[in-house]
Chain A
């Protein structure tokens, strides 16, 4: 009976993923997955191995998890969704590691010590779960800006990581060969995996965090699937296997969208530390700084305006002001378009979500391939808090960490207005020469207040 429930859940998961391939059916897909999950959880409660006296604890755990998960997820700002996903993924990884630890201790207690498929998968799910947990926490810290978004590392970090991988492998083999009763060894294995999670993600720049989270998501799925071997449980096997595989495909697709290889994303971090120190031979130019009023004049004289939103707009929640400004310009007969870069913000699709929230008509959103040919005929581009996705260095500077990433060619427009908090480099930690171009003017300050001021100033014209 329980396995029938699991079969239903597995079918629901597969069907849900299928539905998630199209924006039209995606919401239904998520609901289907929810139903599948609910069925899997409910039938599990009927498992004969559950002791009646432990139901109280199960109730407590579910209640805490539900309250702790539901309300923050309901309230979290749309801009903070990426770090929320990272955090939740980490918790999932942590849960896998805890299940593995439990099973290890129990097998020990029962005297099952020989190497078996169960002991191998226990060790593997513990390792992968721990890496996912620690790595996700670092990704969360970076996106939440508790940790600096720039790559952090030390000399020989990659060597250190390699050594750690070898150490973990050796430890696992040793454990499987003869040390299975050794709890300290298992704890050491968990510890080393946690450290590897930390040191592997630390040197990766914040801009690449979506890819990292997606990969760790796939890891957690794999680990959960392996835990299915340990517990001999079909729901875990199928759910975990599905996510492990589909998460990996998704990761690769994200890399393709950024025109990077997965290896490049994971291991180029140390390189960008060197590159981001900048080129000292170039003379330091000062950017032109305009007031919001000056910007309003520029805009009112334009025939066509393209708005390029970025993370700064998301942070400042300036999408409503941007839409208001666009509305005024359109009322003045200006042609207004929005250019959405696939990886603008912190997650692919981030900008679409925000602009949709502000009720920006879908027809005004242009994707990279559609808008780039139009820039040379555009009078004014208004960049709102975007940086790396408009950095011309991506086109030619081979030393730049963002080299090769498709960018919005805003520098080809007649005038570029950049609304930004400061001259600080973007998330990838790279200077942006666009800001120093002759046809670029900067307007400093919080995006929301700046856009609102421009909008007010525009009323005079």
Chain B
């Protein structure tokens, strides 16, 4: 049902996104591995956008429950992910201050 004309731009976007993803991570210092993993973890919480869209169009109790579960899971992923990353990075700030003493 997706004709080629609409498909090509989507594929282009996806593939370009993958290339950017490959390039944007340079040699990361080991101390940042965990925070970076946590941050990317929060970013894939963007699936919440999908959750919102399906819950928005859901009809009938079964579909609403499915959509609701997706929204809850997605929100947990986004909120928890960003908060945890933020707390981890807060520690680095402390370290810099400690080092200056």
**A residues neighboring B (CB under 8 Å):** 9-10, 13-14, 16-18, 20-23, 26-27, 29-31, 33-34, 37, 40-41, 44-45, 47, 49-51, 54-55, 57-58, 60-62, 64-66, 68-70, 72-74, 76, 78, 81-82, 84-85, 87-89, 91-92, 94-96, 98-99, 101-103, 105-106, 112, 114, 116-118, 210, 213-214, 217-218, 220-221, 223-225, 227-250, 253-254, 257, 342, 347-350, 352-353, 355-357, 359-363
Residue of B nearest to A217 (CB): B41
Nearest chain-B residue to A368 (Cβ)?
B30
- B42 partner residues in chain A, CB cutoff 8 A: 30, 33-34, 37, 88
Task: Beyond the given A95-B71, A348-B31, please list 5 additional residue pairs across the A-B interface where CB-CB is below 8 A.
Answer: A54-B55, A65-B73, A92-B74, A99-B50, A241-B13
Contacts of A73 in B (CB 8 A): 79-81, 83-84, 87
Interface of A is mostly: helix
In the complex, which residue of chain B has the Cβ closest to the Cβ of A80?
A: B84
Whether A84 and B98, one on each chain, are in contact in the complex, defined by CB atoms closer than 8 angstroms, is: no
Q: What sequence of 0s and 1s flags, for each residue 78-101 of chain B, a beta carbon within 8 Å of any chain A beta carbon?
A: 111111111111111111101101
* Chain B residues in 8 Å Cβ range of A102: 54, 58, 63, 66-67, 70
A55 to B99, CA, bound (A): 49
- Size band of the B side of the interface? 35 or more
A44 / chain B contacts, CB cutoff of 8 Å = 49, 52-53
B93 vs chain A, min Cβ distance (A): 7
Q: Report the separation of the CA atoms of residues A313 and B44 in the bound assembly, to the nearest whole angstrom.
A: 32
Q: What A residues does B48 contact at CB under 8 A?
A: 41, 65, 95
Q: With A26-B89, A76-B84 in contact, is A245–B43 under 8 Å at CB? A: no
* Count of A-B residue pairs with CB < 8 Å: 402
Q: Give the chain B neighbours of A233 by CB distance below 8 A.
A: 49-50, 53
Q: How far is the CB of A138 from chain B (nearest CB, A)?
A: 17
In the assembled complex, which residues on chain A have CB atoms less than 8 Å from the CB atom of B58?
54, 57, 102
Residue interface bits B50-70, CB-to-A below 8 A is 1, else 0: 111111111000011011111
Q: Is the CB of A237 within 8 A of B76?
A: no
Please pick, from A10, A85, A237, A243, the residue contacting B10 in the complex, using a CB distance under 8 A: A237
Q: Contacts A23-B29, A72-B80 hold; do A57 and B55 have CB atoms under 8 A apart? A: yes
Q: Is A101 touching B37 in the complex (CB atoms < 8 A)?
A: no
Q: Is there an interface contact between A70 and B1, defined as CB atoms closer than 8 Å?
A: no
Residues on B with beta carbons closer than 8 Å to the beta carbon of A228: 10, 14, 50
Which residues of chain B are within 8 angstroms of A26 by Cβ–Cβ distance?
Answer: 32, 35-36, 89, 92
Contacting pair A16 B39 (CB below 8 A): yes
Write out the residue numbers on chain A whose beta carbons fall within 8 Å of the beta carbon of B96.
Answer: 362
Question: Are B25 and A21 within 8 A (Cβ)?
Answer: yes
Verify A237–B41 contact, CB threshold 8 A: no
- Quote the shortest CB–CB distance from B74 to chain A (angstroms): 4
CB A423 to nearest CB in B, in angstroms, measures 29
With contacts A21-B32, A61-B71, A224-B46 taken as known, whether A30 is within 8 angstroms of B54 at the C-beta atoms is: no
